[in-house]
Structure 1
Amino acid sequence: MDTVHADILAARDWLQRGGWFAPHAGEAFRHLPPPALAHWLHEDPAAACNAAPLAGAGWTLHPLRDGSAGGVQAQWLDARDAAQRAQLLDGLPGPAQPGDDEAAPFAWAHRALCRQGLRLRIDAAPGRAADDGSVWLQLRHQPRARIEAPLLVLDVRPGVHCRLLETHDWSAASGCGQALTQNLQVHIRLAPGARLEHLRISQPGAHDQVAHHLHVRLARDAHYAQALVAGSSAYHLQRSRIELEAGAQAHSAALLLAGAAQIDHQVYSRVQAPQAHSTVETLALAQGRARVVANAHTHIAPGAAQANVRQRLTGIPLSGQPRLTLRPHLEILHDDVQAAHGATWGALPEDALFYAAQRGLDDDTAHTLVTEGMARALLEGALPHSPLLQDWLEGGGLANSLRWALRQSPEDAG
């Protein structure tokens, strides 16, 4: 037996022994339990929906603006080949035990089904970098199969400033005629002094099952800012685990657009050293009978002096009777810190709607403008003065996302 099959069988054996998520087990998944294991592992060749790589399936890499990709080393690796699999997984932590990470079953299921992955290393771009010296990239992902477990490993080298637009193109696979299942694992590692502006767009079809797991490690004085725009589906999990060393700064902002289905957003931040800053913000816009859960959990370790931590979760029901659960949590094990958290739930601000009505706008236009304004403010707070974000906004990205995600029924979205 080769090492690939041994690794796959070991992962499947762990799932059989350790089990999937039990009903109501685990605090993180208590409100929106994941679908059964069969949704993430079952491989039925008769129901395959494979797409050709040359048609753009899987990860594709594109330079943005006038930046050069000369500082980017990219390796597309086949996890079914023993040598390439070892190279793909090199340096990555193995799946954890349930006591260490409640999401461990997802990691084991990913190890059992992973077939392809991309490793990126971002160095300072020689010659034609952007005007400010940053490296601009777009990563697009199109599903390759009806059930898949893609992998991305991103290393940003010391002192490098990278701007990354990550988009997930679900509509390109709509011709499959079947619901898609995706269990994605992303590992981001920022070296000392590195900076990453990360704009992520994930809007699956209404009947798709999606779980995205980001593992982000920030070395000393590294900066990470993530702005996420996520739509709802039959199951949609966005889970980030962020580890900060001394002087590191992380800002995570999520715009959750729940038209009629469900979405679970989880951010687990671990402040492990002095003078680190962590900010988590979520704005959930929901309607109909949608279900939204927003979890923010920040752990401040002993010795993390002068840490600065903020959490702000906001939920707004736009129409109907959606269910919104907002759960901020701080775990503080050091005295010399600044920390604040809060959660608010309520309708669109009346003063803003009144102000719009005073200028002759009808109710629908006023609601649209106020909703888009709040969403824009959230994203700009995470990526202030970012030309990457501004390009996306000015190109109609936010308006299109709002129109696509905030629909009245799953049938409309499909």
Structure 2
Amino acid sequence: MDSARADILAAESHLQAHGWIGRHNESFRHLPPPDLPTWQGQPATDAACDAPPLAGTGWTLLPMGQTPAHGVDARWLDALDPAQRAELFAGLPPPGEGGDAAPFAWAHRALCRQGLRLRVQGTPGKAPGEQDTVWLQLRHQPRAQAEAPLLVLDVDEGVRCMLIESHEHDPAVCAHGLTQNLHVHIRLARGARLQHLRVAAPGPQDRRAHVVHATLAADAHYAQALVATGGSYHLQRCVVQLQGAGAEARHAGLLLAGAQAIDHHIFSRLDAPRTTSQVEALALASGSARAVANAYTRIAAGSDDASVRQRLSGIALDGQPRMVLRPHLEILHDQVQAVHGATWGALPADALFYARQRGLDETTARALIIDGMARAVLERCLIDADGTRLLTEWLDSGWLHQAIARHLTLKEPAHG
């Protein structure tokens, strides 16, 4: 029996024995995912998308601007080939270590058909602190109605990397509603730095689960700025493990739920001294949308001078959306600093008043205020010079401005 078939049978056996996500699972209590068959790629839904050969389906890796991408080793791997499958999953934790989201890992292992392994290496002859910054753009277009793509990214010691990763459903490439169970594994070596801008924009009928695992060695820095729109079901889950002393992780989630659903989880585990974790989320919702922002941070024993900050915010733009903001701290050590908080409400009335006093109509004023709040969340995550440039180049594309404009045109009757 080939390894792919063995993994499929093992996953199916595990899921049949233990079931899909339990009804009382705390992480998915407020926004439970669709049933297991949705994520298994049944023959009736596993048809290929109507994508032309040059549409760029799957992973596409591009350099950013005029900056050469030195030292990038990229391998596109076929998970149905035994040798390539072994290379694709080499060194990754088994599905059973997925915690309360383990069923997504088992379902992913069974359905995975393709993946990309990236290694960003240092420039030969340069010390770790003198490495050139590597700029990359990574895009993924769906290949099938039900799929489980995989990305593994390793950043070598002392290397700085700027990455834009985008997932957008282009109806011209694939007109079907899609199911996608994506897993990303990021591993930063000692002193490595990764500024990571993720854009996830599913179609209205799409069901997506993106699970990101990041591990940081000593003095590694990871900043992830996530911009995500709502869908029929949309889960964004990030698990960050700060394993080395002096490691730092920042995470910002800009959740544009619209009138649909989005579930955002960020789990941080501080396992070493002088580690730092900052989590911020801003959820914007309208109509009868459902938006969840769930932040959990665990500070292990022995984590001297660890620092944690959680800030979750929700704004109802129209109608009666349901928003759940859940900050949570588990502190197993005394010598730490930890702050968390959650707030929700409407757009600030005074800001709207002053904007209208300057001759702006209400829609333009609301868009201007929302744009400023959204940019501020992302800027607080990508704070250094390279991160600012990364964010500026993306903002210049006009994507965020257009997404906010679409948000403000959503009109749904309020439900009593």
With the length of structure 2 as denominator, give the TM-score of the two structures.
0.93
* 8 Å contact kept, 1:74–1:121: yes
Q: Which digits, 9 at most, give the CA deviation of each residue in 1:130-171, with x for residues without a partner?
A: x99210000000000000000000000000000000011311
Q: What amino acid is the match of 2:110?
A: A
Question: Are 1:115 and 2:113 matched, yes or no?
Answer: yes
> How many corresponding residue pairs?
403
Compared CA separation, residues 324 and 174, structure 1 to 2 (3 A): farther
* 8 Å contact kept, 2:167–2:201: yes
Give the whole-Å Cα distance in 2 for the aligned partners of 1:358 and 1:181: 46
Give the whole-Å Cα distance in 2 for the aligned partners of 1:14 and 1:407: 45
Question: Paired residue for 2:405?
Answer: 403
Q: Which digits, 9 at most, give the CA deviation of each residue in 1:211-266, with x for residues without a partner?
A: 00000001000000011100000000000000012101100000000111100000
Which residue, 236, 240, 243 being the options, matches 1:238?
Answer: 236
* 8 Å contact kept, 2:314–2:344: yes
Compared CA separation, residues 405 and 43, structure 1 to 2 (3 A): farther
Q: Which digits, 9 at most, give the CA deviation of each residue in 1:262-305, with x for residues without a partner?
A: 00000000000000000000000100110000000000000001
* 8 Å contact kept, 1:259–1:409: no
Give the whole-Å Cα distance in 2 for the aligned partners of 1:238 and 1:115: 21
Give the whole-Å Cα distance in 2 for the aligned partners of 1:388 and 1:46: 37
Give the whole-Å Cα distance in 2 for the aligned partners of 1:205 and 1:125: 40
* 8 Å contact kept, 2:257–2:286: yes
* 8 Å contact kept, 2:363–2:408: no
* 8 Å contact kept, 2:313–2:343: yes
Compared CA separation, residues 278 and 47, structure 1 to 2 (3 A): closer
Tell which deviates more after alignment, 49-58 or 111-120. 49-58
Q: Which digits, 9 at most, give the CA deviation of each residue in 1:163-194, with x for residues without a partner?
A: 000011311x5553321000000000000000
Q: Could you tell me how far 1:355 is from its partner in structure 2?
A: 2.0
Give the whole-Å Cα distance in 2 for the aligned partners of 1:272 and 1:175: 44
Q: What amino acid is the match of 1:163?
A: M
Give the secondary structure class of the aligned counterpart of 1:303.
coil
Compared CA separation, residues 347 and 70, structure 1 to 2 (3 A): same
Compared CA separation, residues 46 and 88, structure 1 to 2 (3 A): closer
* 8 Å contact kept, 1:260–1:406: no
Give the whole-Å Cα distance in 2 for the aligned partners of 1:371 and 1:201: 18
* 8 Å contact kept, 1:232–1:405: no
Question: Paired residue for 2:200?
Answer: 202
1:356-375 aligned within 5 A:
356-375=355-374
What RMSD over aligned residues (CA atoms) do the two structures have, in Å?
1.8
Question: Paired residue for 2:320?
Answer: 321
Give the secondary structure class of the aligned counterpart of 2:287.
coil
Question: Are 1:178 and 2:176 matched, yes or no?
Answer: yes
Give the secondary structure class of the aligned counterpart of 2:245.
coil
What 5-or-longer segments of structure 1 have no aligned partner?
A: none
Question: Paired residue for 1:392?
Answer: 394
Give the whole-Å Cα distance in 2 for the aligned partners of 1:390 and 1:273: 33
Compared CA separation, residues 208 and 62, structure 1 to 2 (3 A): same
* 8 Å contact kept, 1:231–1:405: no
With the length of structure 1 as denominator, give the TM-score of the two structures.
0.94
Question: Paired residue for 2:61?
Answer: 61
Q: Could you tell me how far 1:2 is from its partner in structure 2?
A: 1.7
* 8 Å contact kept, 2:131–2:158: no
Tell which deviates more after alignment, 362-371 or 306-315. 362-371
Identity %: 60
Question: Paired residue for 1:347?
Answer: 346
Question: Paired residue for 1:88?
Answer: 88
Give the secondary structure class of the aligned counterpart of 2:27.
coil
Question: Paired residue for 1:15?
Answer: 15
Give the whole-Å Cα distance in 1 for the aligned partners of 2:230 and 2:124: 40
Question: Paired residue for 2:132?
Answer: 133
Give the secondary structure class of the aligned counterpart of 2:99.
coil
Compared CA separation, residues 399 and 322, structure 1 to 2 (3 A): same
Question: Paired residue for 1:227?
Answer: 225
* 8 Å contact kept, 1:72–1:125: no
Compared CA separation, residues 405 and 150, structure 1 to 2 (3 A): farther
Compared CA separation, residues 208 and 191, structure 1 to 2 (3 A): same
Q: What amino acid is the match of 2:214?
A: V
Q: What amino acid is the match of 1:287?
A: S
Tell which deviates more after alignment, 35-44 or 108-117. 35-44
Give the secondary structure class of the aligned counterpart of 1:91.
coil
Q: Could you tell me how far 1:351 is from its partner in structure 2?
A: 2.3
Compared CA separation, residues 64 and 125, structure 1 to 2 (3 A): farther
* 8 Å contact kept, 1:273–1:305: yes
Q: What amino acid is the match of 2:403?
A: S
